[in-house]
Amino acid sequence: MAVASTKTDKTKNELSQGVHLYKQKKYTDALTFFLGLPSDTGADSIELAYYIGLCYAKLERYDDALLYLEQVVTSGTQLDRVLQCRFLLAVIYAVSGRKRLADFELNKLLETGYQTPSVYAAIAYVAWEQSDTERCLEYYEKSLKSDPGNLTSLNGMGYVLACENRDLTKALSYCKKALESQPDSAACLDSLGWVYFKLGLIKEAKKYLEEAEKHDKDNETIQNHLIEVTKAGAGQ
Protein backbone atom coordinates (compact mmCIF):
# COMPACT_ATOMS: atom_id res chain seq x y z
CA MET A 1 0.00 0.00 0.00
CA ALA A 2 1.38 3.39 -0.96
CA VAL A 3 2.11 5.83 1.83
CA ALA A 4 0.73 9.33 1.42
CA SER A 5 3.48 11.92 1.07
CA THR A 6 3.82 14.43 3.89
CA LYS A 7 3.74 18.19 3.45
CA THR A 8 7.50 18.27 4.10
CA ASP A 9 8.16 15.71 1.38
CA LYS A 10 6.00 17.65 -1.05
CA THR A 11 7.83 20.89 -0.26
CA LYS A 12 11.20 19.25 -0.80
CA ASN A 13 10.08 17.91 -4.17
CA GLU A 14 8.72 21.27 -5.27
CA LEU A 15 11.85 23.16 -4.23
CA SER A 16 14.48 20.55 -5.13
CA GLN A 17 15.57 22.14 -8.42
CA GLY A 18 16.08 25.54 -6.77
CA VAL A 19 17.88 24.02 -3.81
CA HIS A 20 20.19 22.19 -6.21
CA LEU A 21 20.99 25.45 -8.01
CA TYR A 22 21.62 27.17 -4.68
CA LYS A 23 24.03 24.45 -3.55
CA GLN A 24 25.88 24.87 -6.85
CA LYS A 25 26.25 28.57 -5.94
CA LYS A 26 24.09 29.59 -8.90
CA TYR A 27 22.28 32.10 -6.73
CA THR A 28 20.69 34.17 -9.50
CA ASP A 29 19.31 31.06 -11.20
CA ALA A 30 18.08 29.68 -7.89
CA LEU A 31 16.37 32.96 -7.04
CA THR A 32 14.70 33.08 -10.44
CA PHE A 33 13.40 29.55 -9.89
CA PHE A 34 12.03 30.24 -6.41
CA LEU A 35 10.39 33.53 -7.37
CA GLY A 36 8.86 31.90 -10.45
CA LEU A 37 7.05 29.15 -8.57
CA PRO A 38 3.27 29.38 -8.95
CA SER A 39 1.38 30.36 -5.79
CA ASP A 40 -0.53 27.07 -5.89
CA THR A 41 2.63 24.95 -6.11
CA GLY A 42 2.06 23.47 -2.65
CA ALA A 43 5.50 24.44 -1.33
CA ASP A 44 5.66 25.54 2.28
CA SER A 45 5.74 29.36 2.37
CA ILE A 46 8.29 29.56 5.19
CA GLU A 47 10.62 27.09 3.48
CA LEU A 48 10.34 29.12 0.31
CA ALA A 49 11.00 32.37 2.19
CA TYR A 50 14.08 30.76 3.73
CA TYR A 51 15.69 29.97 0.39
CA ILE A 52 14.69 33.27 -1.23
CA GLY A 53 16.21 35.10 1.73
CA LEU A 54 19.43 33.10 1.43
CA CYS A 55 19.68 33.83 -2.29
CA TYR A 56 19.18 37.56 -1.80
CA ALA A 57 21.78 37.54 1.00
CA LYS A 58 24.32 35.76 -1.20
CA LEU A 59 23.67 38.31 -3.96
CA GLU A 60 24.13 41.11 -1.39
CA ARG A 61 20.63 42.41 -2.01
CA TYR A 62 20.26 42.94 1.69
CA ASP A 63 17.00 44.89 1.90
CA ASP A 64 15.27 42.17 -0.12
CA ALA A 65 16.89 39.47 2.01
CA LEU A 66 15.60 41.06 5.22
CA LEU A 67 11.99 40.78 4.11
CA TYR A 68 12.22 37.02 3.70
CA LEU A 69 14.58 36.16 6.55
CA GLU A 70 12.33 38.05 8.98
CA GLN A 71 9.42 35.85 7.87
CA VAL A 72 11.37 32.78 8.93
CA VAL A 73 12.36 34.30 12.28
CA THR A 74 8.83 35.42 13.16
CA SER A 75 7.34 32.08 12.11
CA GLY A 76 8.94 30.40 15.12
CA THR A 77 9.07 27.06 13.28
CA GLN A 78 12.20 24.95 12.79
CA LEU A 79 14.44 26.35 15.52
CA ASP A 80 17.66 25.70 13.61
CA ARG A 81 16.40 27.75 10.67
CA VAL A 82 15.17 30.52 12.97
CA LEU A 83 18.59 30.77 14.62
CA GLN A 84 20.42 30.72 11.30
CA CYS A 85 18.19 33.46 9.87
CA ARG A 86 18.47 35.57 13.02
CA PHE A 87 22.24 35.38 12.69
CA LEU A 88 22.02 36.41 9.03
CA LEU A 89 19.79 39.33 10.01
CA ALA A 90 22.41 40.43 12.52
CA VAL A 91 25.19 40.25 9.93
CA ILE A 92 23.14 42.19 7.36
CA TYR A 93 22.25 44.86 9.92
CA ALA A 94 25.92 45.12 10.91
CA VAL A 95 27.33 45.50 7.40
CA SER A 96 24.58 47.97 6.43
CA GLY A 97 25.26 50.22 9.39
CA ARG A 98 22.22 49.35 11.52
CA LYS A 99 24.25 48.50 14.61
CA ARG A 100 21.46 48.65 17.19
CA LEU A 101 19.35 46.18 15.25
CA ALA A 102 22.41 43.95 14.85
CA ASP A 103 22.98 44.11 18.61
CA PHE A 104 19.35 43.18 19.24
CA GLU A 105 19.49 40.09 17.03
CA LEU A 106 22.85 38.97 18.43
CA ASN A 107 21.66 39.34 22.02
CA LYS A 108 18.58 37.28 21.17
CA LEU A 109 20.87 34.56 19.87
CA LEU A 110 22.90 34.61 23.08
CA GLU A 111 19.70 34.35 25.12
CA THR A 112 18.71 31.19 23.27
CA GLY A 113 22.10 29.63 23.95
CA TYR A 114 23.24 29.97 20.34
CA GLN A 115 26.73 30.95 21.39
CA THR A 116 28.87 29.96 18.43
CA PRO A 117 32.26 31.31 17.34
CA SER A 118 30.52 33.07 14.44
CA VAL A 119 28.09 34.83 16.77
CA TYR A 120 30.94 35.93 19.03
CA ALA A 121 32.82 37.24 15.97
CA ALA A 122 29.76 39.18 14.82
CA ILE A 123 29.35 40.73 18.28
CA ALA A 124 33.01 41.72 18.20
CA TYR A 125 32.58 43.35 14.79
CA VAL A 126 29.55 45.35 15.91
CA ALA A 127 31.37 46.42 19.08
CA TRP A 128 34.30 47.66 16.98
CA GLU A 129 31.96 49.64 14.74
CA GLN A 130 30.50 51.17 17.91
CA SER A 131 34.01 52.12 19.11
CA ASP A 132 33.78 49.67 22.04
CA THR A 133 37.28 48.24 21.71
CA GLU A 134 37.33 46.28 24.96
CA ARG A 135 34.08 44.45 24.18
CA CYS A 136 35.33 43.83 20.67
CA LEU A 137 38.53 42.16 21.87
CA GLU A 138 36.63 40.23 24.55
CA TYR A 139 34.35 38.61 22.00
CA TYR A 140 37.08 37.91 19.48
CA GLU A 141 38.89 36.10 22.30
CA LYS A 142 35.74 34.11 23.10
CA SER A 143 35.37 33.19 19.45
CA LEU A 144 38.98 32.03 19.15
CA LYS A 145 38.73 30.10 22.40
CA SER A 146 35.83 28.14 20.91
CA ASP A 147 37.42 27.87 17.47
CA PRO A 148 41.13 28.77 17.25
CA GLY A 149 40.96 28.61 13.46
CA ASN A 150 38.01 30.95 12.99
CA LEU A 151 39.08 33.06 10.01
CA THR A 152 36.94 36.09 10.79
CA SER A 153 38.15 36.28 14.37
CA LEU A 154 41.81 35.71 13.52
CA ASN A 155 41.73 38.53 11.01
CA GLY A 156 39.57 40.76 13.17
CA MET A 157 41.66 40.33 16.28
CA GLY A 158 44.89 41.03 14.41
CA TYR A 159 43.46 44.11 12.74
CA VAL A 160 42.04 45.59 15.95
CA LEU A 161 45.28 45.00 17.85
CA ALA A 162 47.15 46.77 15.05
CA CYS A 163 44.77 49.72 15.02
CA GLU A 164 45.16 50.04 18.79
CA ASN A 165 48.94 49.52 18.66
CA ARG A 166 48.63 46.64 21.09
CA ASP A 167 50.83 43.56 21.05
CA LEU A 168 51.81 43.90 17.39
CA THR A 169 53.72 40.62 17.43
CA LYS A 170 50.52 38.79 18.35
CA ALA A 171 48.62 40.84 15.77
CA LEU A 172 51.09 39.72 13.11
CA SER A 173 50.64 36.09 14.11
CA TYR A 174 46.84 36.30 13.94
CA CYS A 175 46.85 37.99 10.54
CA LYS A 176 49.36 35.57 9.06
CA LYS A 177 47.22 32.61 10.17
CA ALA A 178 44.15 34.21 8.64
CA LEU A 179 45.89 34.84 5.33
CA GLU A 180 47.23 31.28 5.25
CA SER A 181 43.62 30.07 5.43
CA GLN A 182 42.41 32.44 2.72
CA PRO A 183 45.34 33.79 0.67
CA ASP A 184 43.15 35.68 -1.82
CA SER A 185 41.11 37.54 0.79
CA ALA A 186 41.34 41.31 0.34
CA ALA A 187 40.40 41.78 4.00
CA CYS A 188 43.18 39.47 5.21
CA LEU A 189 45.75 41.03 2.89
CA ASP A 190 44.75 44.49 4.07
CA SER A 191 44.98 43.54 7.75
CA LEU A 192 48.42 41.98 7.36
CA GLY A 193 49.63 45.02 5.43
CA TRP A 194 48.31 47.28 8.17
CA VAL A 195 50.12 45.30 10.86
CA TYR A 196 53.39 45.60 8.93
CA PHE A 197 52.80 49.35 8.66
CA LYS A 198 52.31 49.60 12.41
CA LEU A 199 55.55 47.66 12.84
CA GLY A 200 57.33 50.21 10.66
CA LEU A 201 57.94 47.73 7.84
CA ILE A 202 56.80 49.95 4.99
CA LYS A 203 57.98 47.82 2.07
CA GLU A 204 56.15 44.73 3.35
CA ALA A 205 53.08 46.80 4.20
CA LYS A 206 52.84 48.27 0.71
CA LYS A 207 53.26 44.85 -0.90
CA TYR A 208 50.25 43.36 0.90
CA LEU A 209 48.09 46.46 0.62
CA GLU A 210 48.68 46.68 -3.14
CA GLU A 211 47.70 43.02 -3.41
CA ALA A 212 44.59 43.70 -1.36
CA GLU A 213 43.64 46.54 -3.70
CA LYS A 214 43.91 44.22 -6.70
CA HIS A 215 41.28 41.97 -5.13
CA ASP A 216 38.98 44.80 -4.02
CA LYS A 217 39.64 47.99 -5.97
CA ASP A 218 36.67 49.91 -4.60
CA ASN A 219 37.34 49.30 -0.91
CA GLU A 220 37.75 52.69 0.76
CA THR A 221 39.56 51.33 3.81
CA ILE A 222 42.20 49.60 1.69
CA GLN A 223 42.67 52.74 -0.39
CA ASN A 224 43.12 54.90 2.70
CA HIS A 225 45.63 52.45 4.18
CA LEU A 226 47.60 52.40 0.94
CA ILE A 227 47.68 56.20 0.76
CA GLU A 228 48.98 56.42 4.31
CA VAL A 229 51.64 53.77 3.73
CA THR A 230 52.73 55.39 0.45
CA LYS A 231 53.13 58.75 2.21
CA ALA A 232 55.17 57.13 4.95
CA GLY A 233 57.39 55.46 2.38
CA ALA A 234 57.98 58.75 0.56
CA GLY A 235 59.14 60.35 3.77
CA GLN A 236 61.86 57.79 4.41
pLDDT reading at 6 higher than 80: no
User: What confidence score (pLDDT) does residue 7 get?
Assistant: 45
Domain coverage including residue 44: 14-96
User: What confidence score (pLDDT) does residue 42 get?
Assistant: 77
Among residues of the chain, what percentage have pLDDT more than 90? 68
The CA distances from residue 232 to 82, 191, 226, in Å, are 49, 17, 10
Fill in the DSSP letter of residue 37.
Answer: S
How many domains are contained in the chain?
A: 1
Total-model pTM = 0.75
5-36 burial, b at 16+ Cβ within 10 Å, e below that, comes to eeeeeebeebbeebbebbeeeebebbbebbee
User: What confidence score (pLDDT) does residue 99 get?
Assistant: 85
pLDDT reading at 235 higher than 70: no
User: What confidence score (pLDDT) does residue 5 get?
Assistant: 42
Average pLDDT of the residues in 161-180: 96
User: What confidence score (pLDDT) does residue 233 get?
Assistant: 74
| Rounded-to-integer distance, Cα 126 and Cα 103, Å | 7
Of 17 and 2, the one with more pLDDT: 17
Q: Does residue 185 fall inside a structural domain?
A: no
User: What confidence score (pLDDT) does residue 39 get?
Assistant: 79
Q: Does residue 50 fall inside a structural domain?
A: yes
Give the up-direction half-sphere exposure of residue 160: CA atoms within 13 A in the CB hemisphere.
25
Q: Does residue 222 fall inside a structural domain?
A: no
CATH number at residue 64: 1.25.40
| Rounded-to-integer distance, Cα 161 and Cα 75, Å | 40
Q: Does residue 4 fall inside a structural domain?
A: no
pLDDT reading at 8 higher than 80: no
User: What confidence score (pLDDT) does residue 2 get?
Assistant: 42
Q: Does residue 230 fall inside a structural domain?
A: no
Q: Does residue 22 fall inside a structural domain?
A: yes
Handedness of CA 31, 35, 36, 39 (dihedral sign): positive
Average pLDDT of the residues in 181-185: 94
pLDDT reading at 195 higher than 50: yes
Q: Does residue 208 fall inside a structural domain?
A: no
User: What confidence score (pLDDT) does residue 148 get?
Assistant: 95
Three-class SS state of 13: helix
pLDDT reading at 27 higher than 50: yes
pLDDT reading at 56 higher than 90: yes
137-171 burial, b at 16+ Cβ within 10 Å, e below that, comes to bebbebbbebbeebbbbbbbbbbbbbeeeeebeeb
Average pLDDT of the residues in 208-232: 93
What is the chain's mean pLDDT, rounded?
Answer: 90
Q: Does residue 19 fall inside a structural domain?
A: yes
* DSSP element (H, E) containing 208: helix 202-215
Q: pLDDT digits over 66-123, tens only?
A: 999 999 999 888 888 998 899 899 989 988 888 889 889 898 888 888 888 999 999 9
Average pLDDT of the residues in 39-66: 91
